[in-house]
């Protein structure tokens, strides 16, 4: 069959993604935007209207502290995950194919676990009665067993447990395609393995590293269950406060306004990742 005899792809097929985007994103966003400017009814929910009272609360120290806490926790988790995932992925790429497949399957299995299972498992592991504190006391590192949850350490451990597989899966394709002769050339010129890794491998994979950072940041920014299970109230992220305002405070307009800010921050980071990807393609 010649190229001319082949039927052209129907133009309406291109409209299907746009329709799904409108249904699954634009319509809910429009509803949330309309709720954010609605009038709150004391003792109830809201009534249709247009007022910017909820957005005015976004410029208060209360919301500023929540947003700063969420960003710092997500950024810290992203940095830790990528700092651990990058050398792990380099070692993984040097393994045999069968071993790589096994490790990747394990990482995919970790992704199948829900936040509830991870949160309560870590809560038990870091507790005083059945946690690692008993092991530390038995070894002699501490005098008596103590709890490590709730706290910032437990929360970061849970977020890193969630974000680490994503960071590895993002870094694995470019790391596996990296030419091993680059590091060998650096070592042949007198560079130590660590210096060759920092001066050659890391700069070459700068774009994938930034992409992994952004992905883990966006993923952990919306964490909801782990901050409540493993953290203290001062560690609660924006998602937790959105639920608190919507359900317990019956303030849906303010909850919708905070949700819009969370969405804007996430979209801004995704846009930054796309921009970095285009710059990488342009250089290539």
Please report the pLDDT score of residue 196 as a whole number.
67
- Does 9 have pLDDT greater than 70? no
| pLDDT(283) > 60 | no
**128 has which bridge partners?**
none
pLDDT surpassing 60 at residue 26: yes
Domain range for 258: 24-283
CATH (domain of 246): 1.10.3720.10
Q: Quick one: CA torsion of 151, 153, 157, 163, rounded to 10 degrees?
A: 90
DSSP the chain: --TTTSPPPPGGGGHHHHHHHIIIIIHHHHHHHHHHTSEEPTTS-EES----HHHHGGGSHHHHHHHHHHHHHHHHHHHHHHHHHHHHHHHHHTS-HHHHHHHHHHHHHHHTS-HHHHHHHHHHHTSTTTSHHHHHHHHTSSSS-----SSHHHHHHHHHHHHHHHHHHHHHHHHHTS-THHHHHHHHTT--HHHHIIIIIHHHTHHHHHHHHHHHHHHHHT--HHHHHHS-GGG--HHHHHHIIIIIS--HHHHHHHHHHHHHHHHHHHHHHHHHHHHHHHH-
Q: Is residue 3 part of a domain?
A: no
Residue 44's pLDDT band, with cuts at 50, 70 and 90, is low
- Write down the pLDDT at residue 276: 67
Give 194 or 80, the one with higher predicted confidence: 80
Structural contact between residues 100 and 117, judged by C-beta atoms closer than 8 angstroms: no
Q: Is the model more confident about 25 or about 160?
A: 160
pLDDT of residue 76: 93
Residue 6 lies in a domain: no
Higher pLDDT, 192 or 242: 242
d(CA 174, CA 244) in angstroms, rounded, equals: 41
- Whether the predicted pLDDT of 1 surpasses 50: no
The reply to whether 187 falls in a domain is yes
Mean pLDDT of the 45-69 span: 86
Percent of the chain with pLDDT over 70: 84
For residue range 115-130, list pLDDT tens digits in order.
Answer: 888 888 888 888 887 7
Task: Indicate whether 273 belongs to any domain.
Answer: yes
229 has pLDDT over 80: yes
186 — pLDDT class (breaks 50, 70, 90): low
CB 15 within 8 A of CB 23: no
Task: Write down the pLDDT at residue 117.
Answer: 87
At residue 269, the pLDDT reads: 80
In a domain, 141, yes or no: yes
Out of 66-70, 203-207, 253-257, which region has the weakest mean confidence (pLDDT)? 203-207
Measured CA to CA, the distance from residue 22 to residue 24 in angstroms comes to: 6
Residue 166 lies in a domain: yes
Please state the domain count of the chain: 1
What is the reported pLDDT for 267? 83
Higher pLDDT, 6 or 19: 19
Q: Which residue has the higher pLDDT, 257 or 273?
A: 257
Tell me, yes or no, whether 126 lies in a domain: yes
Average confidence score pLDDT of the chain: 82
Please report, for residues 7, 20, 208, 253, the alpha-carbon distance to residue 17 in angstroms, rounded to integers and kept in the order given. Answer: 21, 5, 27, 30
The pLDDT value recorded for residue 115 is 83
More confident residue, 48 or 3: 48
pLDDT of residue 77: 93
Query: Residue 247: what pLDDT?
Result: 84
pLDDT at 187: 64
Sign of the dihedral through C-alpha 43, 44, 45, 47: negative
pLDDT of residue 139: 81
- φ and ψ of 142, to 5 deg: -130, 160
pLDDT at 7: 57
Q: Stretch 151-157: mean pLDDT, rounded?
A: 90
Q: Is residue 54 part of a domain?
A: yes
Does pLDDT of 81 surpass 90?
yes
């Amino acid at each position: 069959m010649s190229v001319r005899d082949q039927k052209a792809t129907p133009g309406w097929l291109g409209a299907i993604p746009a329709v799904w985007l409108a249904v699954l994103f634009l319509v809910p966003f429009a509803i949330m935007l309309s709720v954010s400017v609605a009038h709150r009814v004391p003792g109830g929910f809201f009534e249709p209207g247009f007022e910017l009272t909820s957005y005015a609360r976004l410029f208060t120290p209360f919301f500023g502290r929540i947003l700063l806490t969420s960003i710092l926790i997500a950024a810290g988790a992203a940095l830790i995950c990528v700092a651990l995932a990058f050398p792990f992925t380099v070692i993984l790429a040097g393994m045999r194919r069968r071993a790589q497949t096994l490790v990747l399957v394990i990482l995919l299995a970790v992704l199948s676990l829900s936040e509830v299972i991870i949160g309560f498992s870590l809560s038990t592991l870091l507790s005083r009665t059945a946690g690692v504190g008993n092991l530390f006391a038995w070894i002699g590192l501490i005098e008596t067993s103590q709890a490590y949850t709730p706290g910032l350490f437990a929360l970061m451990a849970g977020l890193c447990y969630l974000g680490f597989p994503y960071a590895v899966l993002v870094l694995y394709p470019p790391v596996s395609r990296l030419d091993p002769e680059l590091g060998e050339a650096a070592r042949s010129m007198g560079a130590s393995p660590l210096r060759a890794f920092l001066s050659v491998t890391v700069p070459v994979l700068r774009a994938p590293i930034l992409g992994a950072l952004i992905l883990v940041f966006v993923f952990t920014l919306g964490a909801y269950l782990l901050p409540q299970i493993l953290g203290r109230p001062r560690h609660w992220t924006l998602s937790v406060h959105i639920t608190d305002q919507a359900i317990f405070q019956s303030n849906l307009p303010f909850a919708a306004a905070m949700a819009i800010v969370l969405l804007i921050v996430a979209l801004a980071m995704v846009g930054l990742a796309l921009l970095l990807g285009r710059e990488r393609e342009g250089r290539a």
